[in-house]
Structure 1
């Protein structure tokens, strides 16, 4: 015993006696007779991430959510209950984060005004309809003028008979 140290400082704590999450997963994998490649292939967790988790390096997992998922999948594959390991992970990392409500994320989009741009599709459709309408009107109204002109000639007064300058003995040549 040295000065300034109490006998309680020399005793290992309960936390130090317990193996780490990575060590527990590695021991379970070895006792199940699995290689890192087999665990990686069956869980779809890449080999470097499995190796990093077994060394208690959770930074390569990409965040707490992914680390929890990797621990859960690896634990199930090696035959362990993942719940105690996840609880321990949360306790060591300051607890599980509170879920982020989805509504505030979308509020920013509702507040932002939409830039109104001209609707060119609607303008083109309107122009095409106008052209088709004009052409149709022209064809219909032009056809009525011809038929009304023919009707007035056919229904109107017959032209007066003019005396022919030909001798009366011959009939007049019909005009084609």
Structure 2
């Protein structure tokens, strides 16, 4: 049966650290809900109530737009091996862009990734587990290299051009502030 916690229990920190995949859900006050799969060793648990994850360049930038309008976020992890479990972290998130003062300090928690565009800092206020008995067993084969190859080929200037063209607004036209600080 599911359980609830006010902070991330130590045994869950270990579980999170072993996950190769997690899901991020956000929504603005109106418009579309966003649910994105994430990987690439991009998540760190800083303490029992704080998690950061490094967001790399992608085709959209919904999470940044949503969090700046309505900062609620849910992270979900599923056990694809071993005992079944689904773990959700609920909380309030902040987006840290490459131009923000906190960027360097928070980015130092990660191995550098080309195309890194934001860090999301989640203040966890609820941790929930559920059974996960319907989640299938899956085997981890390895990381996909296409995104890293693409960003390295584009180079830093090419990535900034891509942000200019494709990452400044959400699907619903909400600003992401990827290039210009929020006024």
User: TM bucket by the smaller chain?
Assistant: under 0.3
In terms of fraction of residues, the more strand-rich structure is 2
The structure carrying a bigger helix percent of its residues is 1
TM-score, normalised to structure 2's length? 0.22
**Structure index of larger Rg:** 1
More RCO (CA 8 Å, sep 6+) = 2
TM-score, normalisation: structure 1: 0.22
